[in-house]
Structure 1
Amino acid sequence: MSLLFYGLHLLLIVGLVSWMQRQDWASTLKPYFLPALVFKLLCGILLGLLYRYYYHSGDTITYYKASLVLTDYALQNPGAYSKLLLFNTFSSEAFRATVPFSKFPDFSNSFYFIKLLSALNLLTRSSYYLNALYLSLFSFWGAARLVASLQACFPKRGKAAAIAFLFFPSVVFWSSGLLKDALMFGSMCWLIFFALKITHGRKARAGQLILAPLMLYVFVRIKLFYAAVLIPLLLAYIFIKLVSRHTRMGESYAVQVGSFLFVLVLGALAGSLLGVFFSLDFLLSEMHRNYTSMLEVSRHGPHIVLERMGPGVEQSLLSYPEAALSAVYRPFLGEAWGALYVLMGLENLLLLVLTVLFFAAALRKGFQRPPLLHLVFLIFVLVLAGVVGLTTPNFGSLSRYRIVFLPFLVYLLLQNAYAQRVLQKLGL
């Protein structure tokens, strides 16, 4: 592939970055914008190098090779490819058998991802690393937009948001590159930004109104279960904030929190009775199936064993505390000595230190009354930490899957007085 072709794409990426920098929201990120962007794009490239030359396999390679099948199909039969892209209609069963992840095309998030990737291939001439840069840029765009919004809504907590979403190592690394997680992370951040836009009285622009349903669709298609947790939380938050703006509810923090929890529980009960997302039995059986299947292929390396884990409600509840704590703090430093495990252990040690600082500050100064949004984040962390821990015994996969809740946890842990003092001493 010619240097001119790569040069044109790099100019396009520079143009997109320049456009982002000229937006009003980007001015609040001036100290962080370019360093965070370079870090993100570099991680997207490093992720590909890691899987290609160290692991020699993995999801990113599988998705890329699968997308090439669809891209070749697009070049040979553009009309049939268009039908496949829009309606999951295959020209023949013989061709369908050659396409990975196509057994249940209407439900498979992997098939949805490779369709998007195949379309991107037409722009990049199937360049793996150009694709990785574009996906990393999308993920950064969503994260940076959310950080800017958090800074505008909670000015004293802006540094914590920047560290959690733009610089925390595993969050940035695993939300970069040619993986579904880059799309998940970017669209998730956009959805939370939209919720803040609605609830804090800032008028949405026409482009944002178009983006909102698109990001919702991408997030739901890529990670349906994550959406089943986050969307009700955001809807309950939006409802309570809008009602409190026009009633006396806004005068009482306790009433807001109580009403939020009531709406959330009521919605969860209604959703479970109507089977809006999943039945409880189906969900628990799928979680147990994922856990056992991953455990089988993880026994040769460091992994988590949940002795009480099973498909029933009682077994899941008994396993939840260990699973949630493992999702946050394991592997411990020294639990495994591979290079990547040591890096994970160091990051987890940092999380443990932040947790100790948080509770030490709370014991000495008392718990501060958190904004309602922080309660939303806390519930999201508690639910997803348990779910990820219950379904992911493999430490390597755990480091990747926990990025859905980890930045929110880091953001919350950095709110305490001790952590803020350390950030000030570091000049952050």
Structure 2
Amino acid sequence: MSVLVYLLNILLLAGLVWWLYRQPWVKELQPYFFPALVLKLLCGVLLGLLYFQYYGGAGDTVTYYKASLRLTAYAKNDFGNYVWLLLFNEFESEAFRATIPFSRLPDFSNSFYLIKLLSVLNLFTNGAYYLNTLYFSLFSFWGAGRLSAALATAFPSTKEAAVVAFLFFPSVVFWSAGLTKDAIMFGSMCWLVAFAVNRAHSKPVRVEEVLLLPLMLYLFVRIKIFYAALLLPLLLGYLVIMGLSKFVVALKQRTVQVAVFITAFTILVLVATQLRDFLSIEFIVEQVFFSYEDLLQRSLHGPHMVLSLKPTLASMVAHYPEALINAVFRPFMGESWEWLYIIMGLENLLLFILMALSLASLFRKAPVKVELLYVALLLFIFVLGGIIGLSTPNFGSLSRYRVVFLPFLVYLLLQNYYTQKLLNRLQRLP
């Protein structure tokens, strides 16, 4: 039976890959499509091995998987009540609820939502962990591939930068694969950014995109509502200004576009902070502080960083620059000689080199082309990077959480004069 399940799912996965490969956007990714796909699927499997073998079965992915098996067993025993649970988050008993982690507030818990989603997938894979991993990783690749292709179409000179940043940058590929919330978040987020880029550059919308848009919006908001609360208004502002630029002469100038965008974003933030029922700054500050304190207490046995944080807005603002730097460049080489931290340190050293090259490029006389999209992405990076740095003292968690903004940062950094010159040379190699 298990052999048949594996065979049928491998055939289904092959069919999905074939469907992806026939999509019009794939031609922009040649010859990178299959190497990137294989790498993504392999990283999903390696992530599972990391948690099951190296960490001894500890970690969120294992917790989600084991909990989903309980729900799947429940489905096989009482399918009617299982469907009712999926739709309305109502358990038949408190005793059963107690056996499912993250179910105390089922309407709000993104972890519980993922467990439900995974339990449905289990019905098709017979609960095979690594088959589930392949599906999650393929979904993540779909979004990343679409975004790489969209950026390559809208900004042809940045094609290699997009491919490297979203499809081959080590921690981005690894932590956005596998049986995790991040795989769903990353796939849906990238898909939505690709949708916005295509619409902003007047690419005709396809019927399947219209049908998939509500699903991708729902997944992104449901899995990571805070990320969505920041990114979606930025994308909407980008789309509105790019749309108006076709009719308003003044908005055809990039400097005017950027000025209007930043002004509108600033006004939106100021208005939102006054709507206490909608966005409580005090609540956000408290949540960031509690997250920091909780992770710090669980990180004392291993490499971590310490900020003298207090649960006040003034303290958060004062530590924000340091937190942003930590989120991008920590751990440094030498902070730990465990093999995982050595790999993290090497990647962060590469980021530091890219940052240095980008700063050096500013002193050249070559013109710097600032696109409105880049400004939107920079705002996303600066805001979210700082908040993640403030709330995450654990280096391992930090490497995983920053996958939401890191590919955008790498994409922008790779556009410096020196790196572009190197990428162009590599592209001309036979």
For Structure 1 versus Structure 2, the TM-score category normalised by the shorter chain is over 0.9
Aligned CA distance change for structure 1 residues 275 and 140 (closer, same or farther; 3 Å): farther
Aligned CA distance change for structure 1 residues 275 and 238 (closer, same or farther; 3 Å): farther
Q: Aligned-pair distance for 1:250? A: 2.8
Q: Aligned-pair distance for 1:142? A: 0.4
Aligned CA distance change for structure 1 residues 323 and 24 (closer, same or farther; 3 Å): same
Q: Decide which moves more: 147-156 or 367-376.
A: 367-376
Distance between the aligned counterparts of 1:124 and 1:270, measured in 2? Answer: 48
TM-score normalised according to structure 1 size: 0.97
User: Corresponding residue for 1:89?
Assistant: 90
Distance between the aligned counterparts of 1:276 and 1:163, measured in 2? Answer: 41
**Is 1:65 the equivalent of 2:77?**
no
Amino acid at match of 2:138: L
TM-score normalised according to structure 2 size: 0.97
User: Corresponding residue for 2:279?
Assistant: 278
Q: CA offsets, 1:348-396, max 9 Å, x none?
A: 0000000011111111236613100011111111111101100100001
Q: CA offsets, 1:284-306, max 9 Å, x none?
A: 00000000010001011110111
Gaps of 5+ in 1: none
**Is 1:379 the equivalent of 2:379?**
yes
User: Corresponding residue for 1:348?
Assistant: 348
User: Corresponding residue for 1:48?
Assistant: 48
Alignment of 1:192-211 (within 5 A): 192-211=193-212
Q: Aligned-pair distance for 1:98? A: 1.7
What is the RMSD of the two structures over their aligned residues, measured on CA atoms? 1.3
Aligned CA distance change for structure 1 residues 72 and 277 (closer, same or farther; 3 Å): farther
* DSSP 3-state at the match of 1:365: coil
Q: CA offsets, 1:197-249, max 9 Å, x none?
A: 22111221121111111111111110111111101111111111111111113
**Is 1:257 the equivalent of 2:265?**
no
Distance between the aligned counterparts of 1:84 and 1:4, measured in 2? Answer: 29
Q: Is the 8 A contact 1:139 1:186 kept in 2?
A: yes
Give the count of matched residue pairs: 427
User: Corresponding residue for 1:170?
Assistant: 171
Q: Is the 8 A contact 2:154 2:198 kept in 1?
A: no
**Is 1:216 the equivalent of 2:220?**
no
Amino acid at match of 2:151: L
Amino acid at match of 2:92: S
Amino acid at match of 2:243: L
Q: Is the 8 A contact 1:228 1:277 kept in 2?
A: no
* DSSP 3-state at the match of 2:202: coil
Q: Is the 8 A contact 2:295 2:394 kept in 1?
A: yes
Q: Aligned-pair distance for 1:26? A: 0.4
Amino acid at match of 1:301: G
User: Corresponding residue for 2:417?
Assistant: 417
Distance between the aligned counterparts of 2:356 and 2:100, measured in 1? Answer: 49
Gaps of 5+ in 2: none
User: Corresponding residue for 2:112?
Assistant: 111
**Is 1:405 the equivalent of 2:417?**
no
User: Corresponding residue for 1:336?
Assistant: 336
User: Corresponding residue for 2:427?
Assistant: 427
Q: Decide which moves more: 168-177 or 68-77.
A: 68-77
* DSSP 3-state at the match of 1:245: coil
Q: Aligned-pair distance for 1:2? A: 2.9
User: Corresponding residue for 2:325?
Assistant: 325
Q: Aligned-pair distance for 1:273? A: 2.4
Q: CA offsets, 1:5-40, max 9 Å, x none?
A: 212211111111111111111011111100000000
Q: Aligned-pair distance for 1:94? A: 2.1
Distance between the aligned counterparts of 1:19 and 1:253, measured in 2? Answer: 38
